[in-house]
Amino acid sequence: MIDYDGRVFQSAAAETAGAGGAGPIGHYHQRGDLVWAEFSGGRVRRGSLTGRCGPDGVLTLAYGQLLDDGEVVAGVCTSLPELLPDGRVRLREQWRRFDGSTGVSVIEETPREDRWRTTMQLMEGAGVYTAPDAGEPNHWIEHLRATDLSVGTYSIPKGGLDDQRPHLEDEIYVVRTGRATLVTDSGTAQVEPGSVVFVPAREKHQFVDITEDLTLVVVVAPPYKSREAS
């Protein structure tokens, strides 16, 4: 089965392309058969999708997006994967909107080198708490992926569960909101707004006793899951 976690796709559809011709970019995540993504760019101010991945890699999804003219577009789609010679994935999306219109769009995974940022970028939304989707214990979103690091925001609600496993990359956690206890192989620390904690690669760690909604800016070096792909 194709693992969509960490893959980045870009649409070539003229309908959602911006003035420069670039389409929206979507960051995909996967946990088991659950797949979700956030996308923006081009004419799309913000969009999201959630669905299921079948054993053959076919995605069954529901989506919603806000366009730059204020139009809200929502519907369902079935995405059929095609594995490209270089290992990237192309998705052929058969969509049906709730207004009754139908169509087919193609999105393609971006080359990894195209994801790396080489200019200054203000990361809007970084460090802002996001409540998890229904049935999920926490929320993660990646804001930036550069050659040597990535940055994301990890949100865990009060009394929630930190279910992460040890990573192959070093991490720095910057606490923006909330209070909790960080338990690691090498020690325990109480964290609160302003706390900055380094966790080395492969060390087991978990935030427990979360007494207030916890928001963490996470700096990962090298980029998150990049060592898994090597």
In contact, 50 and 62? CB cutoff 8 Å: yes
Domain boundary among 114, 131, 152: 114
Q: 106 with 190, same domain?
A: no
Domain boundary among 97, 114, 131: 114
188: left (phi over 0), alpha (psi -120 to 50) or beta: beta
- Is the residue at 125 inside a domain? no
Predicted confidence at residue 230, as pLDDT, reads 47
Q: How many CA atoms lie within 13 A of 101 on its CB side?
A: 6
DSSP bridge partners of 63: 49, 75
Span 35-78, pLDDT tens digits: 999 888 878 888 999 999 999 999 999 999 998 889 999 999 99
Span 11-23, pLDDT tens digits: 866 555 544 446 7
Stated pTM of the model: 0.58
Q: For residues 25-33, give the mean pLDDT.
A: 89
Percentage, residues of the chain above pLDDT 70: 90
Residue 226 three-state SS: helix
Predicted confidence at residue 18, as pLDDT, reads 46
User: For the chain, how many structural domains are there in total?
Assistant: 2
Q: How far is CA 52 from the centre of its chain?
A: 16
DSSP structure class, residue 110: P
Span 174-199, pLDDT tens digits: 999 999 999 999 999 999 999 999 99
Confidence grade of residue 203 (pLDDT, cut at 50, 70, 90): very high
Q: 161 with 110, same domain?
A: no
* Dihedral (CA of 29, 74, 72, 13) sign: positive
Predicted confidence at residue 116, as pLDDT, reads 55
Q: 87 with 52, same domain?
A: yes
Angstrom distance (rounded) from CA 106 to CA 115: 19
Q: Picking from 1-15, 82-96, 109-123, 208-222, which range would have the lowest pLDDT averaged per residue?
A: 109-123
Span 106-119, pLDDT tens digits: 999 987 655 555 56
Q: What is the CATH number of the domain that holds 163?
A: 2.60.120.10
Predicted confidence at residue 42, as pLDDT, reads 79
Domain containing residue 77: 8-114
